[in-house]
Structure 1
Amino acid sequence: MATSKKPASPLASMLTELHTLTERIAAADVTDDPRAAKKIRHGLEHASSHLSKVAESLDPVLRPDSIFDPADPNTAGRVVALTLVAQERHSLARIPDFYGAGVYAIYYKGDFAPYAALRGREHPIYVGKADPDNPAAKDAVRQGTKLSARLNEHARSILKARTTLDIEDFECRFLIVQTGFQKSAEDYLINFFKPIWNSETKICFGLGKHGDSSETRVNKRSPWDTMHPGREWADSTAENQKPLQLIIDQIDAHLARHPPYADIHEIFDRFMGDMKQLGAERFYTPARGRVELDDAPPPADAGAQARLLF
């Protein structure tokens, strides 16, 4: 008794037709007209691209929307930033000279009222980087003493603001970093903590300002120098960039909107969230778009997948 052959699915029939058509196109005579040949080539490329998308849409396997790349500068920056936070805190008033470039964070623990929300917290008031003397330096000695010099430069500025600040109320963390990673680490730290003294936060910036030349003394006084008078060149400047009360109000609003981290555990939880790659919502298929991982169908064997397609 003869068995009846299962009829081919519409998709399988069209695929057979496509194979036949492809063979006919390949066997066709090539035109000598360059413009006509170019038009045909573009048409074939467009059809090929469209067919590739159709084929891709038939793939039921979930795809992640990102891939972890340890060599990515942003990834390295995150790791460097977390490593910095794991370091011991030191008094900013007593930083010796040492070799190395890298990143640092400055913390406030004093009684200056506008900074009260930072007291007793693991939240820096300022973060920064110190680039090496030699951009090709491969060790700390060749990097020079840039990191310790930068910290001591900030300490000298704070010492001059003695009417509002006490250098003994400041601590710092620092990390000597292989050349090339300090910028991405600083960027991540600024975005992570949004410190009120960093210029990117646009509130109380100006700590790193070195003073104006005699030709540019008409520049307005930085918000940091308005809050903390004492640097001679800033005190001689005629006008503030911002009135004092506006700076204080902006600090209050910023710290209310971005509450300081209370401890290392809060920081680590946030860091882990930033590093999380394969969340339930981070998969997709070309045909279905976003797919919740727990809602995805179980894998089928190869034969079952073929039957689904044809």
Structure 2
Amino acid sequence: MTSQLKNATTKLDPILRPESIFDPTDPNTSGRVVALTLVAQTKRPLAKIPEFYGAGVYAIYYRGDFAPYAALKGRDHPIYVGKADPDNPAAKDAVSQGTKLSARLNEHARSIRKAVTTLDINDFECRFLIVQTGFQKSAEDYLINFFKPIWNSETKICFGLGKHGDSSETRVNKRSPWDTMHPGREWADATAENQKSRDTIIEQINAHLEAHRPYADIHEIFARFTEDMHQLDLDRFYTPAHGVVELEAVDATPAPNPTP
């Protein structure tokens, strides 16, 4: 009886109820915030990353003249994004996290330095952000989905930068697309067969960058980010009796400049 009375009272309640509530601790939300904060950081030369404490996320940018990457030059769009997990999964400060983030960036720099016939380490820049333990994975996921970088394995085009080499028992593995495009790592050059031909990789890069045009600058990135946040539909309300109710919005069209 009490339950029935409560249900009846709820149905008669005229006060609007939000369809959802903004939860900053939700992994998807925190991932967006961390990713946006990363993009706001100053770019640093990848060739000059010192050793420092901390784990977190990073983005690598290319500004060189390698023809297949021409669409990225002059754009604020990473060629690769990633994360570095802490040494201690319970770490609460940067020192306890270890030097994982700087180590990961320098590991990538070493791989790029070996690709002397196609790449120059001085053509690479990076952004990085040391984050509280536990937030790096959701941020990386959002960054990959947002930018779809051509070197990330999830994009399935020119992956393999993060490979550490095959053991003698698995040397029969095919060469990664990254190593096909950028020979120089000894263990990869010793591999007999490519996963994909160079021509196929270039075709896929061109098609991908045509379908997902690189962001021009941080303003374009922020505009897309705010659009994503708006799609969370946090401004919708309802009543049990009448269903969804949308609040009236203010016209956001800029007012014309007054004539003198």
Cα deviations by residue, 1:146-205 (Å, 9 ceiling, x for unpaired): 111100000010011111111110000011111111111111111111111111111111
Q: Does 1:168 pair with 2:132?
A: no
User: Which structure has the larger Rg?
Assistant: 1
Cα deviations by residue, 1:211-233 (Å, 9 ceiling, x for unpaired): 11101111111111111111111
How far the C-alpha of 1:64 sits from its partner, in A, is 2.7
Aligned to 1:72: 26
Q: 1:162 to 1:138 in 2, by over 3 A?
A: same
Q: Would you say the 8 A contact 2:21–2:234 is kept in 1?
A: no
Aligned to 2:89: 135
CA-based RMSD: 2.1
Q: Would you say the 8 A contact 1:127–1:190 is kept in 2?
A: yes
Question: Structure 1 length as normaliser, TM-score?
Answer: 0.74
Q: 1:67 to 1:240 in 2, by over 3 A?
A: same
Q: Would you say the 8 A contact 2:66–2:119 is kept in 1?
A: yes
Match of 1:126 among 80, 102, 107: 80
How far the C-alpha of 1:245 sits from its partner, in A, is 1.4
Please show how residues 3-152 of structure 1 align to structure 2 within 5 Å.
56-152=10-106
Look up the equivalent residue of 1:68 and give its one-letter code: F
Aligned to 1:201: 155
Look up the equivalent residue of 2:159 and give its one-letter code: F
How far the C-alpha of 1:63 sits from its partner, in A, is 3.2
How far the C-alpha of 1:243 sits from its partner, in A, is 1.5
Q: Would you say the 8 A contact 1:197–1:224 is kept in 2?
A: yes
Aligned to 1:245: 199
Whole-angstrom CA distance in 2 between matches of 1:175 and 1:120: 22
Match of 2:181 among 218, 222, 227: 227
Q: Would you say the 8 A contact 2:158–2:177 is kept in 1?
A: yes
Structure ranking higher on relative contact order (CA contacts 8 Å, 6+ apart)? 2
Q: 1:116 to 1:54 in 2, by over 3 A?
A: farther
Whole-angstrom CA distance in 2 between matches of 1:110 and 1:284: 53
Aligned to 1:212: 166
Look up the equivalent residue of 2:53 and give its one-letter code: Y
Question: Structure 2 length as normaliser, TM-score?
Answer: 0.88
Q: Would you say the 8 A contact 2:57–2:83 is kept in 1?
A: yes
Q: Does 1:292 pair with 2:246?
A: yes
Indicate the larger mover: 119-128 or 66-75.
66-75
Look up the equivalent residue of 1:90 and give its one-letter code: R
Aligned to 1:263: 217
Whole-angstrom CA distance in 2 between matches of 1:93 and 1:79: 27
Look up the equivalent residue of 1:121 and give its one-letter code: R
How far the C-alpha of 1:105 sits from its partner, in A, is 0.4
Q: Which runs of 5+ in 2 are unaligned?
A: 250-260
Q: Would you say the 8 A contact 1:77–1:182 is kept in 2?
A: yes
How far the C-alpha of 1:68 sits from its partner, in A, is 0.5
Partner of 2:32, secondary structure, is helix
- Considering fraction of residues, name the structure with more helix: 1
Q: Would you say the 8 A contact 1:64–1:278 is kept in 2?
A: no
Aligned to 1:43: none
Q: Would you say the 8 A contact 1:121–1:261 is kept in 2?
A: yes
Aligned to 2:140: 186
Whole-angstrom CA distance in 1 between matches of 2:194 and 2:237: 51
